[in-house]
Amino acid sequence: MSRPVGGQETRGAGEWHGEWLDPLAFLRGVAWLEGGRVVRADPADSMRLPWDTGERATLPIGVRLEFRAGPGTTAVEIRYRATVPGPTDSLRDLAHVFSLWNRHGLLRELFTDPAEESVVRITLPAGLGPYTVYPPEAQSPLVLGVRGIGGPVLPAEPAPRWVVHGDSITEGWWSTRPAHGWPAVAGRALGVDTVNLGYAGAARGELPTAEQLATLPADLITLAFGTNCWSRIPYSVPLLYETTRAFLDLIRQGHPETPLLLVSPVLRPEAEHTPNRLGATLGELRAAMERAVRDRILGGDRRLALLPGLPLLRPEHLADGLHPNDEGHAVLGAAVAASLHEEGFA
Give tens-digit pLDDT for 254-263.
Answer: 999 999 999 9
* Mean pLDDT confidence for 130-150: 91
Backbone phi, then psi, for 160, in 5-degree steps? -55, 145
**Which pLDDT score, from 0 to 100, does residue 89 have?**
62
Dist. CA 301–CA 295, nearest whole Å: 9
**Which pLDDT score, from 0 to 100, does residue 11 have?**
44
* Mean pLDDT confidence for 97-107: 95
What value does the mean pLDDT of the chain take? Answer: 92
Yes or no: domain 10-155 corresponds to CATH 3.30.1150.10: no
State the DSSP string of 260-309: EEEE-----TTTTT---TTS--HHHHHHHHHHHHHHHHHTT-TTEEEE-S
Cα–Cα nearest to 139, from 46, 252, 19, 58: 58
3 — pLDDT class (breaks 50, 70, 90): very low
Q: Would you say residue 322 has pLDDT above 50? A: yes
Cα–Cα nearest to 196, from 17, 9, 40, 325: 40
CATH architecture, range 161-342: 3-Layer(aba) Sandwich (3.40)
Residues of the chain with CATH 2.60.120.260: 10-155
**Which pLDDT score, from 0 to 100, does residue 219 have?**
98
**Which pLDDT score, from 0 to 100, does residue 87 have?**
66
Q: Would you say residue 82 has pLDDT above 50? A: yes
* Mean pLDDT confidence for 245-261: 98
**Which pLDDT score, from 0 to 100, does residue 90 have?**
57
**Is beta strand 131-134 parallel, antiparallel or unpaired with respect to 64-69?**
antiparallel
* Mean pLDDT confidence for 263-268: 98
116 — pLDDT class (breaks 50, 70, 90): confident
pLDDT tens digit sequence for 172-197: 999 999 999 999 999 999 999 999 99
Cα–Cα nearest to 291, from 308, 271, 279: 308
Q: Would you say residue 216 has pLDDT above 50? A: yes
Phi-psi label, residue 286: left if phi above 0, alpha if psi -120 to 50, beta otherwise: alpha
Dist. CA 185–CA 164, nearest whole Å: 12
pLDDT tens digit sequence for 334-343: 999 999 999 9
Q: Where are the beta strands (DSSP E) in 13-95?
A: 15-17, 27-28, 32-34, 37-39, 64-69, 75-81
Q: Would you say residue 91 has pLDDT above 60? A: no
pLDDT tens digit sequence for 23-78: 999 999 999 999 889 999 999 999 999 999 999 999 999 999 999 999 999 999 99
Q: Between these two residues, 264 and 139, which has the higher pLDDT value? A: 264
Q: Would you say residue 140 has pLDDT above 90? A: no
**Which pLDDT score, from 0 to 100, does residue 232 have?**
87
**Which pLDDT score, from 0 to 100, does residue 335 have?**
98
* Mean pLDDT confidence for 132-158: 92
Residues of the chain with CATH 3.40.50.1110: 161-342
* Mean pLDDT confidence for 296-309: 98
**Which pLDDT score, from 0 to 100, does residue 291 have?**
98
Q: Would you say residue 8 has pLDDT above 90? A: no
Q: Between these two residues, 9 and 79, which has the higher pLDDT value? A: 79
**Which pLDDT score, from 0 to 100, does residue 220 have?**
98
Coil vs helix vs strand at 192: coil
